[in-house]
């Protein structure tokens, strides 16, 4: 039996002011709004790229969309911020902002453009981003969102102001639970138009860059969680069950989050032989709710967010980890997550580079089918669940798989 990964829970910094008396009583909308912006496929942008933006400016940007930084972990290649409403990941060449509740995620774009121009000397109005993705599940309570986020058409119209020429998708049955996606960006075909074009101007340089470029995102969105499971993420009930005493009902959210992470089984989604560097940052909210960020081998992440309230329980998992490097695959990860949360219904999405993408641009070689998440999950059968939807899209250099299941 392979030994478990050695997990290291640590915090580069904790904002004690923001975590004091943080109360999730009024939290209601678990499904997150997810904005991902790639400036370039090149990881090592000059002056540290996005990561050169000062922390106080990042905090100000988050204030504008109604969330706060609770704590941060970092590696050589990225910063992972645990937020009062989900997560922010900052890499040299890309930024991933994932926020739940009534946050106004898209309202950060104008300020982000200004920060990129000021600190990176990159004018996104003249040199559009390499890739832009905005996605979200259909909301449970859309009427409680601000006007911008109440309607998908409003969001697309707003995105078009900053990322013209983008494409909008409604994936799934529009009168039932479904998933929204907006994409934009210049892509590889027009990568020479980026400000860093001197680095990739030649065909040889471009082919080398493309051959080294890897991008895969696996996301699982779950609702109607098992009542037994949600007790673990109802912090007050969990404290009582574990016999942990509090002072006037107050507790250290990070310490309890670490315990919850281990006791729930979430700390063991990836098990491998050998040694890998995985560090995690966890937080349990009062009276309920849980969030965690994990950095894997300095450059990959996975993140979990749980809203356990009865009637609108929700959990999400997202990662760009290459599971095959950890001697597993995304089907095994999916099975572990379903065993933990036992959702009444869930969907998953896989964003993966097309098989023919490399050959189309002059590169050779294809992935082995056994190391291909798209092919592995395309026709998956899961005990205790019925597949009710399977949708596939070709989107520029990517292929998208969306699959929806209900418990039987």
pLDDT band at 21 (very low <50, low <70, confident <90, very high): very low
Q: Give the model confidence (pLDDT) of 73-116 as tens digits.
A: 999 999 999 999 999 999 999 999 999 999 999 999 999 999 99
Q: Among 321, 237, 266, 305, which residue's Cα sits nearest to residue 67?
A: 305
Identify the residue with better confidence: 13 or 331.
331
Identify the residue with better confidence: 99 or 214.
99
Bond preceding residue 287 cis, omega within 30 of 0: yes
Mean pLDDT (the chain) is 86
Instruction: Reply yes or no on whether the pLDDT at 190 is more than 80.
Output: no
In angstroms, the CA 212 to CA 41 distance is 10
Catalytic position from the list 100, 108, 282, 347:
100
Q: Give the model confidence (pLDDT) of 229-269 as tens digits.
A: 898 999 888 887 777 766 666 778 999 999 999 999 999 99
Q: Give the model confidence (pLDDT) of 116-168 as tens digits.
A: 999 999 999 999 999 999 999 999 999 999 999 999 999 999 999 999 999 99
Q: Is 86 a catalytic residue?
A: yes
Task: Determine the topology of domain 7-407 in CATH.
Answer: 3.60.90
Catalytic position from the list 71, 280, 284, 291:
291
Tell me: is residue 28 an annotated ligand-binding position: yes
Tell me: is residue 118 an annotated ligand-binding position: no
Residue 157, CA distances (Å) to 148, 162, 226, 342 in order: 9, 9, 38, 37
Instruction: Reply yes or no on whether the pLDDT at 369 is more than 90.
Output: no
Q: Is 291 a catalytic residue?
A: yes
pLDDT band at 6 (very low <50, low <70, confident <90, very high): very low
Percent of the residues in the chain that have a pLDDT greater than 90, as a whole number: 66
pLDDT at 83: 98
Q: Is 254 a catalytic residue?
A: no
- The residue count of the chain comes to 408
pTM of the complete model: 0.89
pLDDT band at 37 (very low <50, low <70, confident <90, very high): very high
In angstroms, the CA 39 to CA 189 distance is 15
Question: Could you tell me whether strands 86-91 and 78-83 are parallel, antiparallel, or unpaired per DSSP bridges?
Answer: antiparallel
Q: Among 288, 231, 291, which residue's Cα sits nearest to residue 258?
A: 291
Rounded mean pLDDT, 400-406: 97
pLDDT at 115: 98
Identify the residue with better confidence: 290 or 358.
290
- Distance linking the first and last C-alpha atoms of the chain: 32
Contacts of 277 (CB under 8 A, 6+ apart): 8, 75, 295, 296, 297, 298
Catalytic position from the list 74, 86, 300, 316:
86
pLDDT band at 5 (very low <50, low <70, confident <90, very high): very low
Residue 2, CA distances (Å) to 227, 270, 273 in order: 31, 10, 6
In angstroms, the CA 361 to CA 356 distance is 9
Q: Is 135 a catalytic residue?
A: no
pLDDT at 208: 60
In angstroms, the CA 117 to CA 112 distance is 9
- Residue 3 DSSP one-character state: P
Cα atoms in the 13 Å half-sphere on the side-chain side of 148: 13
Of 99-103, 290-294, 358-362, 390-394, where does mean pLDDT reach its minimum? 358-362
Tell me: is residue 285 an annotated ligand-binding position: yes
Contacts of 150 (CB under 8 A, 6+ apart): 142, 143
Q: Among 384, 318, 376, 335, which residue's Cα sits nearest to residue 179?
A: 318
- Residue 269 DSSP one-character state: S
Q: Among 80, 295, 301, which residue's Cα sits nearest to residue 69?
A: 80
Q: Give the model confidence (pLDDT) of 292-333 as tens digits.
A: 999 999 999 999 999 999 889 999 999 999 999 898 999 999
Contacts of 232 (CB under 8 A, 6+ apart): 238, 260, 263, 264
pLDDT at 12: 57
Q: Among 179, 176, 178, 206, which residue's Cα sits nearest to residue 192?
A: 206
Tell me: is residue 130 an annotated ligand-binding position: no
In angstroms, the CA 171 to CA 389 distance is 10
Catalytic position from the list 280, 300, 305, 316:
305
In angstroms, the CA 122 to CA 273 distance is 43
In angstroms, the CA 207 to CA 213 distance is 10
Q: From the CB of residue 334, how many other CB atoms can be counted at a distance below 10 Å?
A: 21
Instruction: Reply yes or no on whether the pLDDT at 279 is more than 80.
Output: yes
């Amino acid at each position: 039996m392979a030994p478990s990964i050695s997990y290291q829970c640590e915090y580069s910094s904790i904002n004690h002011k923001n975590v004091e008396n943080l109360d999730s009583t009024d939290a209601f909308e678990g499904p997150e709004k997810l904005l991902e912006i790639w400036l370039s496929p090149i990881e090592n942008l000059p002056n540290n790229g996005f990561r050169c933006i000062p922390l106080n400016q990042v905090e100000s940007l988050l204030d504008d969309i109604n969330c706060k930084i609770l704590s941060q972990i970092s590696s050589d290649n990225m910063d992972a911020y645990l937020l009062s409403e989900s997560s922010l990941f900052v890499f040299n060449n890309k930024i991933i902002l994932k926020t739940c509740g009534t946050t106004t995620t898209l309202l950060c774009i104008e300020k982000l453009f200004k920060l990129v121009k000021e600190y990176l000397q990159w004018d996104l109005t003249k040199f559009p981003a390499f890739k832009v993705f905005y996605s979200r599940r259909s909301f449970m309570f859309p009427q409680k969102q601000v006007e911008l986020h109440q309607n998908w058409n409003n969001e697309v119209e707003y995105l078009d102001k900053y990322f013209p020429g983008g494409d909008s998708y409604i994936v799934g049955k529009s009168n039932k639970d479904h998933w929204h996606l907006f994409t934009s960006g210049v892509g590889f075909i027009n990568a020479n138009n980026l400000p860093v074009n001197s680095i990739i101007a030649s065909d040889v340089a471009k082919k080398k860059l493309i051959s080294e470029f890897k991008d895969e995102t696996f996301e699982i969105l779950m609702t109607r969680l098992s009542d037994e499971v949600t007790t673990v993420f109802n912090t007050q009930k969990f404290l009582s069950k574990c016999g942990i005493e509090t002072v006037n009902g107050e507790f250290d959210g990070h310490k309890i989050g670490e315990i919850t992470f281990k006791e729930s089984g979430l700390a063991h989604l990836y098990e491998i032989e050998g040694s890998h560097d995985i560090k995690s940052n966890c937080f349990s909210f009062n009276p309920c709710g849980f969030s965690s960020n994990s950095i894997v081998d300095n450059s990959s992440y996975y993140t979990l967010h749980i809203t356990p309230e009865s009637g609108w329980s929700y959990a999400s998992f997202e990662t760009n980890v290459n599971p095959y490097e950890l001697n597993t695959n995304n089907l095994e990860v999916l099975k572990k997550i379903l065993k933990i949360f036992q959702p009444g219904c869930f969907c998953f999405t896989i964003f993966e580079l097309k098989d023919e993408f490399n050959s189309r641009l002059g590169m050779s070689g294809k992935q082995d089918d056994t190391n291909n998440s798209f092919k592995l999950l395309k026709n998956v059968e899961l005990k205790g669940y019925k597949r009710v939807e399977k949708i596939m899209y070709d989107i520029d250099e990517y292929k998208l798989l969306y699959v929806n299941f209900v418990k039987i």
